[in-house]
Amino acid sequence: MDFSEFFYYLLYLILNFIVYILVLFFQKESITSFSTSFHIIQLFSSCLTIYFIILTRNKPGYVEKDKYLEEELKKKETESKSEINVESLPIVNLNLIPNNGCETCQITKLPLRTQHCQKCQKCVKGFDHHCWILGGCIGENNRFKFILFLFFQNISIIFSTYGILKIINNQESEILEYILTFLFSIMCLFEIIFFWILLYHIYLLITNQSTYELFNEKQCPYLSIFIEERTKILAQRGISIINSSKPRPFDIGISNNINLYLEKMFNSQKTINWEDLYFENIKTNQIRLYCGDKEIHN
C-alpha cells in the first residue's frame, strides 16, 4: 500500500465514520423515529461504501499470458471474417487494427479494448482508468461495482453533511460552531466532487465508452477505423452523417450497455466479445441510433 492509497483510506474513514461519530457525540435531541431512520441509513450507506471498495479492488479483468489466448483470438478473427464476407461490404477486420500485443506482459495479441496499465504493470480488459484513490484499475469486471461504490459514497456524504448542519444549528459554543461550519464546507466540497464523478461514469456506462478512449483517441486506432468504415457502408446505402460526434463503436443501447456490465458483476467469468459488438455496430443500420450522430438524412 503506497501513500496515496493510505491517504484515501484515511479519507474514507473520515467521510463515512468519524463525521458520523461526531454527529452522535454532539446530538442533543432525543431519539425520534426520524433520527433513528437517519442513523440507520447513514450506517447502511457507509457499510455498503466500504463493501464496494473491497469488491472494486478485486481483479478488474487482467489478461494473463496463456498459450490458448492466441488460438482463441485467431478463432474469433476467422469467425468474424466469414460472417462479414457474407455482406460483401468494406468491413474492417482485425488485421486492419494495429495490435502489437504487450512486450511487458509478453503477450503477442491483445483482445480489443485491452490496455496495459503502467501503474499495475498488467494488461486490463475493457480498461477504463487506473483509480489512484482505490489503488487499482477499473476494467470490465469491476466497472459496475465502482459505480455502486460512488453511489453509496454520495449518500453517505449527504447524510453526514446534513448531520453536521443539524448540530451547528444547536451549537452554543462559537468556536465549535466555526470549526463545524468549516467541516460542513469541506463535506459539501467532497459531495460536489463525488457527485460529478458519479454522473460522469454513469454517462460512460450508458454509452459504453471508457475514460481511456475518451481522452486517448489517437492511441485507440479502432476508433478512427470505425468512422472510416462506417462512412463507407452508410454511403453505399445512401445515408450521410452530419456533425458526427465522437465514435462509440461498442454502444448497443442504454439498457443493453448496463446489462453488459451488470452481468459481469455477478459473473466475472462471462466473456464480453468486444470484437463482435464492434463489427456488428459497423455493418448494421442501427448504427444511426447508437453511435451519437447528431443528424442523419437519406
pLDDT tens per residue, range 113-161: 999 998 888 899 999 999 877 778 999 999 998 998 899 888 888 888 8
Residue 206 pLDDT > 60, yes or no? yes
For cell 477486420, the residue is 93
CB atoms within 10 A of CB 111: 22
Tens-digit pLDDT profile for residues 283-294 = 664 444 444 444
Q: Does the pLDDT at position 81 exceed 60?
A: no
More confident: 15 or 199 = 199
Query: In whole angstroms, what is the distance from residue 119 CA to residue 122 CA?
Result: 8
Q: How far is CA 141 from CA 63, 134, 150, 268, in A?
A: 12, 15, 16, 6
Check: CB of residue 190 under 8 Å from CB of residue 12. no
- The Cβ of residue 213 has, within 10 Å, a number of other Cβ atoms equal to 23
Cα 125 to Cα 34, 113, 151, 156: the distances in Å are 45, 6, 24, 31
Lowest mean pLDDT among 65-69, 99-103, 141-145: 65-69
The band of 192, judged by pLDDT with boundaries at 50, 70 and 90, is: very high
What is the rounded CA–CA span in Å between residue 145 and residue 54?
10
Beta carbons within 8 Å of 97's beta carbon, 6+ residues apart = 112, 221, 222, 225
* pLDDT tier, 28 (very low <50, low <70, confident <90, very high otherwise): low
Percent of the chain's residues with pLDDT above 90: 15
Mark out the alpha helices in 57-86 (DSSP H runs). 69-85
Examine the pLDDT at 204 and tell me if it is beyond 90: yes
The whole-angstrom separation of Cα 277 and Cα 296 is 22
Angle, helices 143-169 vs 19-26, to 10°: value is: 30
pTM of full prediction above 0.85: no
Is the pLDDT reported for residue 244 higher than 70? no
